[in-house]
């Protein structure tokens, strides 16, 4: 029996995997296994012989079972380790479809978020508008070149596609009395041949703030805050006097920032709302809600395509309407 | 407009460099587009006279010249040009000169003959294009004179002038502004010559609204010839061509004072000159050689024979100044900007004169320009100016604008004292009088208090104004809500792996329907309609990307569409378009299939989770679609989803691309309404009780649609049935496993009780009832 016990332990040690170990277990502990058979044979022994034999047998069974368990654990650990050892962890991650917003949308949203922090709400107006909202109310002379068929798209009924989003200023003031703080991103249209720097439809952002005691200082503060939020705190703004029919004084805003090109870039037009615009609105509204003696305001606007071009470094505006996925995919990281 | 710095210095005493001056002008509101230098800065180029010219012994095309350059010893120069004669004065580059482009001149042999320098063309010296061949100088040029003395270097500023400031369209005006902004001292050029006014007679104005001031000066004994070189240089430096003394003088005065003049050959004019509107059928042969058929709204200057000039725009060929002209009528007038603009536009003419008259002119300036023109004519051509000036119309009284210092301070947010404000306005040439500020004649743009406030702001500078940042509380507007909703939906689409495209709202007729709005004046057919949907734009994007080699394309666009109807003319729409593989390629070697309609349904289902449903479309199939389903959002019709017809798809796909194209086009409003109804409220507490699932395989006729199957199960009122998921769909066209007209569907049903553990018996009984129902209603057989 001693020999048998020795053999059984040796068999455990030589088992090379869990299947082999299972066979060893069956060979000794199975119904017709060696240990089971000896237990069976115990009954045939005399009363005197039984305790010693039983003790020996128990000892064997315990030793065997312990060794079996120990070996089983070793084999399982080895198998587990082998599983991971064969894994090539350098293979790339499982791809899933990544989507992304158009850069114009992303930029619009950044701008919207900034102005919302300043207490501006959003407004909108139709793309198809009339001459009154697009030109007359904005103090544009009747024979101003911008009104020409050559520059502006007209519909057969005499209405037009707005040439700037300043129409939304007028619509907002038409609908509600001051105070007013609005931003309006939207499409504008000009009869330009499409080339590397022109589109016939483009996107503008309109900003208007009207109320009692609004000064040129508010315009300056708001514009500077906005551009610093957009391009970084070290951004500089330069206000160059300019001319627009609907604001007075009028300025063009040049912006310089290390996040852009270190060059002065002409980015926006702005000014204090011209009293003539307020008077046009009063006339239309039939009240004095926008009495230029009582209230004042500032407006500014800028094109988004140009900003996107500067930020992305593209030189052809048509990339924004071409929607090449190789271009768009670069913005998937934004969300 | 170009201005010459050396010319500007006639009216501006300044120490500022070109760059500093550009900065000053920028601060005043004049945009400086570019700064360039003209004239010559090259040394060792001098005036020389050709003494002799002989054929080169070894080269047919070359000559050997001897030239005098003032040193006393003639130089030998080999030359290839042919446009000179002996005795001409030319420009000679001496050894040591470096020409533009880096060419170094040295003594060398050309085909065996020594050349001690090079005779140059205008182009070789950077003096403009010039004629081919040597630059032949005026016979009076002094031999030995340095090129830099002959053509002094100048700096040219190209300015962009805003339409409200016609006074900046001449050197004097720019100098005046620069001086006001601190560049230096303004040197007023006053050249009034004694003159008497005489009304009527030779100058008649029929419509004083169209022409408020008209003046003519008679100048006799003029000699029309080539202008002196200083005059030519000044004009050429700013891009004007020198023509003859008289034309050059009128151009010079225009570029100096910003006021256009016109000179008629007095001998070609019959009778008085009348400013009137054109008669029907009249024509004018312009100075440009073209004949213009005049409209009755065109203002003309006419004599007894008819129009001699299109007022303020272009002169007539017949009465133009030529070499034979002996006496002049020098016109200086003020024309109505709108009249000039309309005529210029109608005839497609944009001249330096019309450009200025369109922006406005003033009688005082016209008066002065006339005097200046006359004085120059006398000085340069020896003409005799008649004492009498024939004048029609008058000089308007100066405008006075009332102005409140407080209003100015309030609007600008500044605390300048009254004195300081006044001094700023005085700097701009305004004078204080009892009732307000008197506006100088050159400032046509100052008519209201706000215009004066702008002057204060401009001079004071925005950099000196304190920036204020005030904000107040504002509730979000309905537009804010729409915007937020659109951004939310965009994010959901991105999460589904779609890219946003943005295409133009202007489309061709092909991309529009019968409800489309057409433009009256499109640029071309490609952009002649406003889009009624987003599909045509996305198709182009898809096509572009396929041609660029993209394999899987998943796109959406959200934007305005336009329908010809009295209400809802402009609406937001959403479209999706996808093609390619269902999943990205992977190293696992799993076979990826083409994405199909069901992949797109999966994307839509997540737009407004739980709210999107589909129904077989009852609408007419769109011509581009092979299969369509109507989409409902929270029960409301919202658009369609479909599979593009293969014939249509083949038009945009490239060879080898065989994946189907799936499309959805949705209206915005139902989506937004459903999203606004979304809440964070959960249905119930999460159940801890186990659920039981059963997979049931069943066979049915091919025609039994899945939605019918699901509907009957849901309407069976089995309270324990919580979820139905289709696991497998199987058909066998050969009829081996199941009949060819049948299909096998496996459904996974999930059962759960709200408040106790289920028993197997309950579930089995429920399944049996459900199957019995399906068999009865749809003829469905259980599959073993």
Which tens digits make up the pLDDT trace of B677-704?
A: 888 877 777 778 889 999 999 999 999 9
Q: Determine the Cα angle at A20 with ends A14 and A23, to 5°.
A: 115
Neighbouring-strand partners of residue B213: B334, B393
Please determine, for residue B392, whether its predicted confidence score (pLDDT) is greater than 90. Answer: no
Kindly state the helix (H) or strand (E) to which residue B530 belongs, with its residue range.
strand B529-530
Percent of chain B residues topping a pLDDT of 90 = 62
The pLDDT of residue B42: 79
Kindly state the helix (H) or strand (E) to which residue B614 belongs, with its residue range.
strand B612-616
The pLDDT of residue B195: 55
Topology of domain B45-150, CATH: OB fold (Dihydrolipoamide Acetyltransferase, E2P) (2.40.50)
The answer to the question of residue A134 being in a domain is: yes
Contact A198, B523 (CB under 8 A): no
The CA distance from A77 to the nearest CA of chain B, in Å, is: 27
Number of domain units in chain A: 2
The answer to the question of residue A97 being in a domain is: no
The answer to the question of residue A198 being in a domain is: yes
Long-range interactions of B335-340: CB distance < 8 A, separation 24+: B335/B210, B335/B211, B335/B299, B335/B311, B335/B361, B336/B209, B336/B210, B336/B211, B336/B212, B336/B299, B338/A141, B338/A142, B338/A143, B339/B210, B339/B297, B339/B299, B339/B311, B340/B299, B340/B311, B340/B312, B340/B313
Please determine, for residue A258, whether its predicted confidence score (pLDDT) is greater than 70. Answer: yes
Please determine, for residue B200, whether its predicted confidence score (pLDDT) is greater than 70. Answer: no
- Nearest-10 Cα torsion for B3, B5, B8, B13: 150
Q: Where are the domains of chain B?
A: 2-39+154-186, 45-150, 196-393, 401-464, 479-677, 692-782
Nearest to B543 by CA among B529, B531, B553: B553
pLDDT tens figures, B109-120: 888 889 999 998
Residues A193 and A329 grouped into a single domain: yes
**Chain B residues 476-515 within an 8 A CB cutoff of chain A:** 476-477, 479-480, 483, 487, 490-491, 493-506
Q: Which residues of B touch A102 (CB under 8 A)?
A: 499-502
Tell me which residue in A123, A153, A215 faces B410 most closely, judged by beta carbons. Answer: A215
Q: Which residue has the higher pLDDT, B135 or B498?
A: B498
Contact B396, B364 (CB under 8 A): no
Last residue of a domain, one of A36, A54, A85: A85
Contact call for B541 and A323, based on CB within 8 A: yes
Cα gap A299→B623, rounded to integer Å: 47
Residues A49 and A118 grouped into a single domain: no
Residues A189 and A313 grouped into a single domain: yes
Q: Which residues of A touch B469 (CB under 8 A)?
A: 118, 218, 221-222, 225
The answer to the question of residue A91 being in a domain is: no
Topology of domain B401-464, CATH: Phenylalanyl-tRNA Synthetase; Chain B, domain 1 (3.30.56)
The SS3 assignment for B64 reads strand
Cα gap A9→A23, rounded to integer Å: 13
pLDDT tens figures, A320-332: 999 999 999 988 7
CB pairs under 8 A between A and B: 230
B553 backbone dihedrals φ, ψ, rounded to 5°: -130, 125
Residues A75 and A128 grouped into a single domain: no
Most confident of A38-52, B43-57, B290-304: B290-304
Q: Which residues of B touch A145 (CB under 8 A)?
A: 341
Cα gap B214→B208, rounded to integer Å: 9
Tell me which residue in B471, B541, B570 faces A119 most closely, judged by beta carbons. Answer: B471
Nearest to A122 by CA among A171, A49, A194, A52: A171
Residues A133 and A235 grouped into a single domain: yes
| Tokens at B163, concatenated | 């339409």
Nearest to B64 by CA among B75, B53, B72: B53
Assign 3-class secondary structure to B429-478. CCEEECCEEECCCCCCCCCCHHHHHHHHHHHHCHHHCCCCCCCCCCCCCH
Residues in contact with A9: Cβ distance below 8 Å, sequence separation at least 6, in sequence order:
A63, A64, A67
Q: What is the mean pLDDT of chain B?
A: 90
Domain B692-782, what architecture?
2-Layer Sandwich (3.30)
Contact B333, B275 (CB under 8 A): yes
Contact call for A216 and B162, based on CB within 8 A: no
DSSP per position, A206-231: EEEEEETT--HHHHHHHHHHHHHHHH
CATH tag for B479-677 (out of 3.40.50.300, 3.40.50.720, 3.30.930.10, 3.30.470.10): 3.30.930.10
| CB proximity A81 to B under 8 Å | no
Percent of chain A residues topping a pLDDT of 70 = 99
Tell me which residue in A179, A182, A249 faces B454 most closely, judged by beta carbons. Answer: A249
Percent of chain A residues topping a pLDDT of 90 = 61
Substitution target from B346, B486, B502 for chain A, most A beta carbons within 10 A = B502
Tell me which residue in B457, B467, B553 faces A249 most closely, judged by beta carbons. Answer: B457
DSSP state of B267: G
Cα gap B119→B136, rounded to integer Å: 10
Residues A140 and A6 grouped into a single domain: no
Residues A111 and A79 grouped into a single domain: no
**Mean pLDDT throughout B569-574?**
94
Q: Which residues of B touch A216 (CB under 8 A)?
A: 411-414, 457, 462, 465
Neighbouring-strand partners of residue A242: A250
| CB proximity B567 to A under 8 Å | no
Neighbouring-strand partners of residue B561: B571
The pLDDT of residue B556: 97
Substitution target from A217, A268, A272 for chain B, most B beta carbons within 10 A = A217
Last residue of a domain, one of A85, A111, A128: A85
pLDDT band at B511 (very low <50, low <70, confident <90, very high): low
Phi-psi region of B413 (alpha: psi -120 to 50; beta: other; left: phi over 0): left
The pLDDT of residue B191: 53
Residues in contact with B204: Cβ distance below 8 Å, sequence separation at least 6, in sequence order:
B272, B273, B274, B275, B392
* Residue in the block written with tokens 């139709």: A126
Residues A274 and A133 grouped into a single domain: yes
| CB proximity A189 to B under 8 Å | yes
**Mean pLDDT throughout B767-775?**
93
Contact call for B545 and A119, based on CB within 8 A: no
| Tokens at B628, concatenated | 């369509």
pLDDT tens figures, A196-236: 999 999 999 999 999 999 999 999 999 999 999 999 999 99
Tally of CA atoms within 13 A in the half-sphere of B320 that contains its CB: 17
- CATH number of residue A147's parent domain: 3.30.930.10
Full domain range(s) for residue A330? 103-334
**Mean pLDDT throughout A153-159?**
94
* Angstrom distances, CA of residue B6 to CA of B184, B241, B742: 15, 18, 96
Tally of CA atoms within 13 A in the half-sphere of B654 that contains its CB: 13
The CA distance from B260 to the nearest CA of chain A, in Å, is: 21
DSSP E strands in A225-295: the ranges are: 236-244, 247-256, 265-273
* Angstrom distances, CA of residue A113 to CA of A121, B368, B495: 10, 57, 21
The pLDDT of residue B521: 93
Kindly state the helix (H) or strand (E) to which residue A14 belongs, with its residue range.
helix A2-14
Radius of gyration of chain A (CA): 42
* Residue in the block written with tokens 């368990």: A69
Nearest to A201 by CA among A311, A299, A300, A104: A104
The CA distance from B694 to the nearest CA of chain A, in Å, is: 31
**Chain A residues 109-128 within an 8 A CB cutoff of chain B:** 109, 112, 116-124, 126-128
Q: Which residues of B touch A222 (CB under 8 A)?
A: 469
The answer to the question of residue A268 being in a domain is: yes
Domains B2-39+154-186 and B401-464 share a fold: yes
Residues A30 and A157 grouped into a single domain: no
For domain B196-393, say whether CATH 3.40.390.10 is its number: no
Contact call for B477 and A121, based on CB within 8 A: yes
| Tokens at A299, concatenated | 């407006």
The pLDDT of residue A328: 92
Last residue of a domain, one of A31, A56, A85: A85
The CA distance from B649 to the nearest CA of chain A, in Å, is: 19
pLDDT tens figures, B599-634: 999 999 999 998 999 988 777 788 888 889 999 999
pLDDT tens figures, A272-299: 999 999 999 999 999 999 999 999 999 9
| CB proximity A264 to B under 8 Å | no
Please determine, for residue B188, whether its predicted confidence score (pLDDT) is greater than 80. Answer: no
**Chain A residues 134-163 within an 8 A CB cutoff of chain B:** 141-143, 145, 148-149, 153-156, 161
Cα gap A110→A334, rounded to integer Å: 11
In this predicted structure, which of A120-134, B339-353, B383-397 has the lowest mean pLDDT? B383-397
Q: Which residues of A touch B162 (CB under 8 A)?
A: 242-243
Domain B2-39+154-186, what architecture?
2-Layer Sandwich (3.30)
pLDDT band at B285 (very low <50, low <70, confident <90, very high): very high
pLDDT tens figures, B1-50: 999 999 999 999 999 999 999 999 999 999 999 998 876 677 888 899 99
The answer to the question of residue A69 being in a domain is: yes
ipTM: 0.85
Residues A19 and A147 grouped into a single domain: no
Contact call for A191 and B521, based on CB within 8 A: yes
C-alpha dihedral sign at B609, B611, B617, B619: negative
**Beta B211-220 vs A236-244: how paired, if at all?**
unpaired
Cα gap B625→B646, rounded to integer Å: 8
pLDDT band at B192 (very low <50, low <70, confident <90, very high): low
The answer to the question of residue A119 being in a domain is: yes
Cα gap A152→A145, rounded to integer Å: 9
Task: Nearest chain B residue to A101 by CA: give it.
Answer: B500
Residue A39: other Cβ atoms inside 10 A: 16
Cα gap A126→A117, rounded to integer Å: 26
Contact B252, B270 (CB under 8 A): no
Contact call for A119 and B473, based on CB within 8 A: yes
Cα gap B499→A293, rounded to integer Å: 50
The pLDDT of residue B588: 84
* Residue in the block written with tokens 């200025």: B356
The answer to the question of residue A90 being in a domain is: no
Please determine, for residue B454, whether its predicted confidence score (pLDDT) is greater than 90. Answer: yes
Contact call for B471 and A201, based on CB within 8 A: no
The CA distance from B10 to the nearest CA of chain A, in Å, is: 26
| CB proximity B541 to A under 8 Å | yes
Contact call for A221 and B412, based on CB within 8 A: no
Contact A256, A238 (CB under 8 A): yes
């Amino acid at each position: 029996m001693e020999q048998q016990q020795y053999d059984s332990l040796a068999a455990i040690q030589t088992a090379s995997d869990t299947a082999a170990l299972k066979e060893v277990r069956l060979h000794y502990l199975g119904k017709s296994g060696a240990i089971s058979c000896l237990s069976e044979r115990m009954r045939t022994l005399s009363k005197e012989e039984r305790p010693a034999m039983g003790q020996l047998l128990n000892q064997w069974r315990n030793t065997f079972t312990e060794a079996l368990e120990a070996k089983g654990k070793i084999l399982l650990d080895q198998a587990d380790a082998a599983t991971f050892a064969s894994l090539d962890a350098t293979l790339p991650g499982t791809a899933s479809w990544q989507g992304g917003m158009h850069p114009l949308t992303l930029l619009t949203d950044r701008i919207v978020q900034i102005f919302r922090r300043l207490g501006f709400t959003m407004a909108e107006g139709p793309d198809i508008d009339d001459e009154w909202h697009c030109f007359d109310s904005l103090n544009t002379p009747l024979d101003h070149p911008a009104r020409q068929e050559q520059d502006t798209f007209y519909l057969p009924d005499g209405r037009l596609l707005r040439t700037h989003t300043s129409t939304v200023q007028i619509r907002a003031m038409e609908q509600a009395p001051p105070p007013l703080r609005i931003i309006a991103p939207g499409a504008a249209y000009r009869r330009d041949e499409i080339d590397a720097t022109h589109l016939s439809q483009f996107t503008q952002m309109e900003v208007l703030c009207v109320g009692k005691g609004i000064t040129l200082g508010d315009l300056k503060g708001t514009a500077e805050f906005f551009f610093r939020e957009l391009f970084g705190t070290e951004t500089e703004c330069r206000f160059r006097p300019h001319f627009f029919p609907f604001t007075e004084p009028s300025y063009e805003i040049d912006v310089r920032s290390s996040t852009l090109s270190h060059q002065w870039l002409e980015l926006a037009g702005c000014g204090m709302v011209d009293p003539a615009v307020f008077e046009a609105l009063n006339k239309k509204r039939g009240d004095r809600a926008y009495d230029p003696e009582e209230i004042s305001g500032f407006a500014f606007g800028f094109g988004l395509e140009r900003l996107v071009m500067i930020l992305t470094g593209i030189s052809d505006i048509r990339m924004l309407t071409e929607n090449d996925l190789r271009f768009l995919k670069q913005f998937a990281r934004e969300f | 407009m170009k201005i010459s710095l050396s010319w500007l210095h006639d009216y501006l005493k300044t120490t500022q460099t070109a760059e500093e001056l550009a900065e000053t002008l920028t601060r005043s509101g004049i945009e400086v587009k570019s700064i360039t230098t003209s004239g010559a800065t090259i040394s060792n180029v001098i005036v020389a006279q050709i003494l002799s010219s002989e054929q080169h012994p070894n080269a047919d095309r070359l000559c050997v010249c001897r030239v005098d350059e003032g040193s006393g010893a003639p130089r030998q120069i080999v030359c290839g040009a042919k446009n000179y004669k002996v005795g001409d004065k030319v420009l000679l580059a001496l050894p040591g000169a470096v020409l533009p482009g880096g060419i170094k001149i040295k003594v060398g042999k050309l085909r065996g003959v020594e050349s001690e320098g090079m005779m140059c063309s205008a182009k070789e010296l950077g003096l403009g294009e010039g004629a081919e061949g040597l630059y032949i100088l005026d016979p009076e040029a002094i031999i030995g004179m340095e090129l830099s003395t002959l053509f002094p270097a100048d700096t040219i500023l190209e300015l962009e002038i805003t339409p409200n400031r016609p006074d900046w369209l001449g050197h004097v005006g720019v100098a005046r502004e620069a001086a006001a902004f601190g560049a230096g001292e303004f040197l007023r050029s006053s050249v009034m010559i004694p003159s008497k006014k005489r009304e009527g007679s030779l100058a008649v104005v029929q419509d004083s609204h169209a022409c408020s001031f008209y003046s003519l000066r008679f100048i006799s004994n003029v000699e029309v010839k080539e202008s002196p070189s200083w005059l030519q240089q000044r004009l050429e430096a700013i891009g004007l061509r020198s023509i003859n003394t008289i034309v050059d003088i009128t151009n010079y005065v225009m570029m100096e004072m910003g006021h256009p003049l016109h000179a008629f050959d007095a001998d070609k004019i019959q009778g008085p000159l009348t400013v009137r509107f054109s008669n029907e059928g009249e024509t004018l042969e312009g100075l440009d050689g073209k004949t213009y058929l005049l409209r009755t709204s065109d203002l003309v200057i006419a004599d007894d024979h008819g129009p001699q000039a299109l007022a303020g725009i272009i002169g007539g060929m017949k009465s133009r100044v030529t070499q034979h002209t002996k006496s002049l009528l020098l016109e200086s007038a003020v024309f109505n900007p709108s009249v000039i603009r309309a005529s210029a536009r109608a005839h497609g003419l944009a001249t330096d004169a019309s450009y200025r008259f369109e922006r406005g002119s003033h009688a005082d300036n016209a008066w002065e320009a006339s005097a200046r023109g006359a004085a120059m004519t006398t000085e340069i051509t020896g003409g005799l100016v008649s004492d009498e000036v024939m004048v029609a119309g008058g000089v308007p009284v100066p405008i006075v604008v009332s102005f409140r210092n407080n209003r100015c301070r309030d609007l600008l947010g500044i605390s300048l004292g009254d004195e300081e404000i006044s001094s700023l306005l005085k700097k701009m040439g305004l004078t204080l009088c009892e009732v307000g500020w008197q506006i100088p004649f050159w400032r046509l743009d100052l008519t209201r208090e706000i215009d004066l406030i702008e002057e204060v702001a401009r001079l004071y500078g925005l950099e000196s104004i304190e920036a204020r940042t005030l904000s107040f509380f504002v509730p979000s507007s309905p537009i804010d809500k729409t915007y937020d909703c659109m951004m939310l939906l965009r994010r959901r689409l991105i999460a589904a792996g779609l890219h946003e495209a943005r295409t133009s709202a202007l489309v061709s007729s092909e991309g529009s329907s019968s409800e489309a709005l057409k433009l009256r004046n499109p640029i071309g057919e490609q952009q002649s309609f406003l889009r009624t949907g987003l599909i045509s734009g996305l198709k182009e994007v898809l096509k572009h990307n396929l041609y660029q080699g993209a394999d899987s394309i998943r796109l959406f666009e959200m934007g305005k569409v336009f329908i010809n109807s009295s209400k809802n003319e402009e609406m937001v729409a959403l479209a999706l378009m996808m093609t390619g593989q269902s999943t990205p390629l992977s190293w696992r070697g799993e076979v990826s299939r083409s994405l199909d309609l069901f992949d797109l349904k999966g994307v839509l289902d997540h737009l407004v989770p739980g709210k999107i449903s589909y129904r077989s479309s009852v609408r007419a199939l769109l011509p581009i679609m092979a299969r369509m389903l109507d989409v409902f959002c929270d029960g409301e019709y919202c658009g369609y989803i479909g599979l593009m017809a293969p014939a249509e798809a083949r038009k945009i796909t490239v060879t080898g691309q065989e994946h189907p194209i799936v499309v959805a086009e949705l209206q915005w409003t139902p989506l937004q309404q459903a999203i606004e109804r979304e809440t964070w409220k959960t249905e119930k507490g999460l159940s801890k009780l186990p659920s039981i699932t059963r997979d049931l395989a069943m066979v049915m006729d091919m025609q039994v649609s899945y939605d019918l199957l699901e509907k009957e199960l849901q309407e069976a009122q089995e309270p324990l049935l919580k979820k139905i998921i289709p696991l497998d769909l199987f058909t066998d066209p050969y009829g081996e496993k199941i009949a060819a007209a049948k299909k096998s569907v496996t459904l996974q049903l999930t059962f759960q009780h709200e408040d106790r553990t289920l028993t197997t018996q309950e579930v089995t009984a429920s399944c049996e009832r459900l199957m019995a129902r399906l068999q009865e209603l749809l003829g469905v057989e259980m599959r073993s």
